Structure 1
Amino acid sequence: MRTICLYFEIHQIIHLKRYRFFDIGNDHYYYDDYANETGMNEVAERSYIPALNTLIEMVKNSGGFKVALSISGVALEQLEIHAPAVIDLLHQLNETGCCEFLCEPYSHGLSSLANEDCFREEVLRQRDKMKQMFGKEPKVFRNSSLIYSDEIGGLVASMGFKGMLTEGAKHVLGWKSPHYVYHCNQAPSLKLLLRDFKLSDDISLRFSNSDWAEYPLFADKYINWIDALPQEEQVINIFMELSALGMAQPLSSNILEFLKALPECAKAKGITFSTPTEIVTKLKSVSQLDVAYPMSWVDEERDTSCWLGNVMQREAFNKLYSVAERVHLCDDRRIKQDWDYLQASNNFRFMTTKNNGMWLNRGIYDSPYDAFTNYMNILGDFIKRVDALYPADVDSEELNSLLTTIKNQGDEITELEKEVAKWQAKAEAAKKTTVKKAADAKEPAVKEKAVAKSKPAAKKAEAKKAVAEPKKATGKAKKAAAK
C-alpha cells in the first residue's frame, strides 16, 4: 500500500545586533531582542498558529492522518519566550498521538560538517529536550537542512537512531527513485527516507504562483499525481518548512484549505499517511545510498555551497569551530548559549554571494560583506571571552588529553555507580534472607518455650498425686491395725 510521509520543520533566525551599536570588549550581549520578538510574533501569527490549528483539525476530522515535526532547541527557546501559544498547540498536536517529533541539532547549525564531538553533544541534548517536552525519545533524525553524507549517517546510527531524513538529490540518486527506503552504506541499520523535492516544492514554493503551468493546484490533482506513480514505489516523502504555510505561501492563497482536503482525496485512492518511524519499522531497504560528499535540500546544487561556498563563509566557519574544544570544556551558561546561537546556519547563509535568481532574506544586512563584517566582530568578542577561560596558547594535545581524562572519569563514575547499585541490590537481598532466617528460627524457639512451660505444670500434678497416694495408703494401714 502506498503511503505519504508529511513532515514540517520549525527553526528560527536569531537576529544579531549591528556591531557598531554596542561596545566590543565590554558589551557581550549580541542579540537584537526587538527584531527577534517581532520576527517570532510575525511568523507565529501568520503561519505557525493557523498551520498547527489546521493540522490538529485534520487529525481529528480524518481518521488516518499523521504528520511529523522537527523543531530545533533554539527555536523552542524563542517560542517559549515570545510565542508560548505555539508551544501549547504543539502539546495539543502531540496529545492526538498522530504526530511524531524528530531529533535534530540543537542549534540548527553545521556542526556535522566541522566537529564530531560538538555534533554529538548537541544532538543528544536535543533528544533529551524533545523527550522532556513531549514524553517520547525520538527514533528518527533529520540534520539541519537535511544535510547528509555517508560519514554523518554512520555517526547518527552510532547514537541509536533507526532512521534519518535527507534529500532525494538527482546527482546522488541518478536513475533511482526517492520513493523507496534506502540505508546508510556505513551502517545498514540506519534507514533513509528521501525527500521528493518536486512534490514538496509544488506546495512550498509554487502553490500561489499564477505563472506556474499547474496553477491553481487542487488536492485531487495533487493526489492523482501520486497515484499515477509506478505501483512498486510505495513511500512518498513530502518535506518542507512549516513557515511555507502562511509566509512563503500566503493564507489568502487557500493553502490551508488545500492541505485539509489531502487526507480525503488520498483515502479515495487507497493512499495512507504514516510517520517516519512507522515507515522505517515496517518497510525494508531496497539498497544502500552512497553519498561521499555532503548534500542538502538547499538551492539547485543540493550541496553545502550556500553556507560554505565562498572565502568569507569558510573563514567565519573555521574561526568559529577553532574554539569548539574549549567551549566544550567550559560550563559558563552564557558562553554555551552564545555558542548555540552563533552556530545557527543562517549566520553563514547571509554571507552567500551565489546568484541563483532567487530572492534571499539577508535579515539586517545590506550585503554578504556586511553580514561577514558584523559576524566576525561579534565572533571576535566571543573568542576573547573563551580565551579568558581557556587561553589560546594551550596545546591542542593537552586539550585532547584533558577531554579524554574527563570522558574516562565520566565512564569510571558510571561504572562505579553500576557497581554500587549491584552491591546495594545484593545487600538488600542478604538483608531479606537474614530476616527470613531469623523469623524461621524464632518459631521453634517459641514452641520449645511453650513445651518448657507445660513441663513444670505436669511435674506439679505428678507431685500432688504422689502425696495423695501415701496418705491414702496410711489410712488403710491404720484400719488393718485396728482389726
Structure 2
Amino acid sequence: MSSQPNPTPKPMVLYFQAHQPWRLRPFHFFEIGTQGDGFDNAQNEAIVRRITRQCYLPANKIVLDLIKKFPQLKITFSISGTLLDQLKQYCPDGLASFKALAETGAVEFLAETDFHSLASLLPGTEFEEQVLDHVARLQEYLGVRPLVFRNTELIYNNDMAKKVHALGFNGMFLDGIDAVLQGRSPNHLYEHPEEKGMKLFPRNYFLSDDIAFRYHEFGKKLTVGKFMARLKSIPQEDQLITLGLDYETFGEHHKAESGILNFLHDLLVCFAKDKHHKLVTPSEAIQQIQDTPALHVPDTISWADAERDLSAWLGNDMQQDAFETMAHLEGRIKTLNDPNLTDRWRRLMTSDHFYYMSTKRNSDGNVHAYFSPYASPYEAFMNYMNVLQDFLHTVKEKEKEMATLPEKGALKAEAERREMHTPIWAMKLENSYEK
C-alpha cells in the first residue's frame, strides 16, 4: 500500500510591529506662549530603555539565534521611524540588534509612515513624504530597502493602496475583517481591484490576537501545542496565512515571567520544523503565489478596536478637534521649510496622541487606558491642545522672522518651490531610485 505524499507546506507571513511615540510632558495652560519643549524626553528615554531591555534585546536574540540554527525561518518587521530615532538616541544596542537581524537576509522590513502617523488621512502629499522619509531611515539605520508597505495601525482603503503602489511598492497589509472579505477567507493573497501587481495581505486577526491578547486569559495560558492545532485546522485550500502583532507583546505587554519569551522561542522552533507550514517573507509570497483574486475595500478600515475603523483615533469630538487643528497647520509648516518645526509638527501627528483621547468603554476602553499615560481621555486632550497651542506661538514667531527677509528670501523661495509641477514626494522618490 503506497503512502500518501506530504502536502506542499502552506506559506505563512509572520510580522511584528514595533513602535514607540514621542510622548508629551504635562503642559499647563499657563505655559502656552512660552514656546517650551512639549515632549517628555526623560519619560521617553526611560520607557524605550525599559522596553529594549525587556523586549527588543531578548526577543531579537531569540529570533537571531534561531535563524542561525534554522535558516528556513523568515520573519518580517515593521518599525516606526519614531522608534528607530529613539533607539539611536537612547539605546544603540537595541538598534544594533535589529541591524543584526537585517544582516541575516532572512528578515524583511516593511515601510510605513515615518512618524507612525495619520498622514494617510490628510490631503496633499504629506503621506508620500513621510513614507519616503521612512524608506530613507530604513536604508540609513538598517541598510535595507523595503518593497512592501504597512500603513499606521493597518489603516487601509483602495485609494490609499493606489498611492502606495505609485510610490513603487508591490504589496500592502490590511486587516482581514469579515466586513471586507464578505465570506471569503483571510488566508489568501489578494490583489487591488485596479492596480494590477499590487498584492494585498489580509491579517488573520483571530490567530494573531490569540497571542497578542489571549495568551493569558481566564487564568489559562496559550500553549504552542494549542496554537499549532488551531493553525492546522485551517483548510488546506487556503493558500497563505498572515500573522501580525505588536512586538512589544513579548516581554512588555506580557512580562518575561509569564513565559511569553519561551513561547516565542518554542513557537518559532515549531514553525521551523513543521512539515505543513513554512515561514516566508512578504516578497517571497508575492513571487510564489500566482492566484490572487481582487479585493475591493472602498471604506477605510484598520486593525483597532471592535469597529476596525477610524474611531480609535477620530471617534469623538475631542479627537476630531485635535486632529483638525493639527492638520490645519500643514500649509504654514511646509511654507516655513524649517526642519525642526516640521519634525515637531510630525511628532504631534503620531496616532498615539489621538488614541489616548478615546472615550470608549468596556474591553476597547481598557486597551486604550492601558496604553495611555494620562488619567483620563479629557486630560490627554487638554494636554495635547496646550502643547499644540504653544507650538502655534513658535510658528507665528518664525513667520514674523521670515517676513523680515528680502523679497526673494527663503519664505518666497519655498512658496515658489511648492508650486512647481513636480511634488516634493515625487522628487524624493526619483532620488531614492537613483541611489
Give 2:302's match in structure 1, choosing from 282, 296, 306.
296
Give 1:331's match in structure 2, choosing from 332, 337, 341.
337
Give 1:147's match in structure 2, choosing from 141, 147, 155.
155
C-alpha distance in structure 2 between counterparts of 1:116 and 1:377, whole Å? 26
Q: Call closer, same or farther: CA 1:268–1:29 in 2, change over 3 Å.
A: closer
Equivalent residues in 2 for 1:54-453 (5 A)?
Answer: 54-211=62-219, 215-266=220-271, 267-358=273-364, 359=366, 360-361=369-370, 363-390=372-399, 402=416, 404-408=418-422
Q: Which residue of 1 aligns with 2:10?
A: 2
Tell me how large the CA RMSD over aligned residues is: 2.6
Larger Rg: 1
Preserved CA contact (<8 Å) 1:325 1:399 = no
C-alpha distance in structure 1 between counterparts of 2:70 and 2:426, whole Å? 52
* CA deviation vs aligned residue, 1:16-45 (integer Å, no higher than 9, x gap): 121229732223311112211111111111
* CA deviation vs aligned residue, 1:214-238 (integer Å, no higher than 9, x gap): x433223322322221111121111
Preserved CA contact (<8 Å) 1:62 1:263 = no
* CA deviation vs aligned residue, 1:351-377 (integer Å, no higher than 9, x gap): 111113242235342211111111111
C-alpha distance in structure 1 between counterparts of 2:75 and 2:424, whole Å? 38
Give 1:14's match in structure 2, choosing from 22, 44, 52.
22
C-alpha distance in structure 2 between counterparts of 1:243 and 1:336, whole Å? 28
Q: Call closer, same or farther: CA 1:31–1:239 in 2, change over 3 Å.
A: same
Q: Call closer, same or farther: CA 1:410–1:363 in 2, change over 3 Å.
A: closer
Q: Call closer, same or farther: CA 1:30–1:196 in 2, change over 3 Å.
A: same
Q: Which has the higher helix share?
A: 1
Q: Call closer, same or farther: CA 1:246–1:405 in 2, change over 3 Å.
A: same
* CA deviation vs aligned residue, 1:54-97 (integer Å, no higher than 9, x gap): 11112112231110111111111111111111111011111111
Give the AA of the match of 1:135: G
Q: What residue ranges of structure 1 are gaps of 5+ in the alignment?
A: 418-483
Q: Call closer, same or farther: CA 1:81–1:264 in 2, change over 3 Å.
A: closer
**What's the CA shift for 1:412?**
13
C-alpha distance in structure 2 between counterparts of 1:337 and 1:22, whole Å? 24
State the structure with bigger RCO (CA 8 A, min sep 6), 1 or 2: 2
Preserved CA contact (<8 Å) 1:17 1:30 = yes
C-alpha distance in structure 2 between counterparts of 1:384 and 1:2, whole Å? 57
Give the AA of the match of 2:419: T
* CA deviation vs aligned residue, 1:310-355 (integer Å, no higher than 9, x gap): 0111111111111112222333222022012101101001111111
C-alpha distance in structure 2 between counterparts of 1:413 and 1:291, whole Å? 29
- Where 1:287 maps in the other structure, the secondary structure is coil
C-alpha distance in structure 2 between counterparts of 1:241 and 1:22, whole Å? 37
How high is the TM-score relative to the length of structure 1? 0.79
Preserved CA contact (<8 Å) 1:183 1:285 = no
C-alpha distance in structure 2 between counterparts of 1:410 and 1:149, whole Å? 23
C-alpha distance in structure 2 between counterparts of 1:167 and 1:407, whole Å? 36
C-alpha distance in structure 2 between counterparts of 1:372 and 1:311, whole Å? 10
Equivalenced residue count is 407
C-alpha distance in structure 1 between counterparts of 2:354 and 2:292, whole Å? 36
C-alpha distance in structure 2 between counterparts of 1:243 and 1:410, whole Å? 34
Give the AA of the match of 2:344: D
Give the AA of the match of 1:346: D
C-alpha distance in structure 1 between counterparts of 2:295 and 2:261, whole Å? 35
Preserved CA contact (<8 Å) 2:335 2:415 = no
**What's the CA shift for 1:114?**
1.6
**What's the CA shift for 1:47?**
1.2
**What's the CA shift for 1:169?**
1.0
**What's the CA shift for 1:390?**
4.5
Q: What residue ranges of structure 2 are gaps of 5+ in the alignment?
A: 1-8, 404-411
**What's the CA shift for 1:285?**
4.6
**What's the CA shift for 1:128?**
1.2
How high is the TM-score relative to the length of structure 2? 0.87
Equivalent residues in 2 for 1:44-63 (5 A)?
Answer: 44-63=52-71
C-alpha distance in structure 2 between counterparts of 1:20 and 1:52, whole Å? 39
* CA deviation vs aligned residue, 1:146-204 (integer Å, no higher than 9, x gap): 11001101110110101011100111112011100111223122100011011101111
C-alpha distance in structure 2 between counterparts of 1:274 and 1:411, whole Å? 31
Q: Call closer, same or farther: CA 1:368–1:134 in 2, change over 3 Å.
A: same
**What's the CA shift for 1:271?**
1.3
Preserved CA contact (<8 Å) 2:31 2:390 = no
Preserved CA contact (<8 Å) 1:166 1:193 = yes
**What's the CA shift for 1:383?**
2.3
**What's the CA shift for 1:294?**
1.1
Give the AA of the match of 1:194: P
- Where 1:256 maps in the other structure, the secondary structure is helix
**What's the CA shift for 1:384?**
2.9
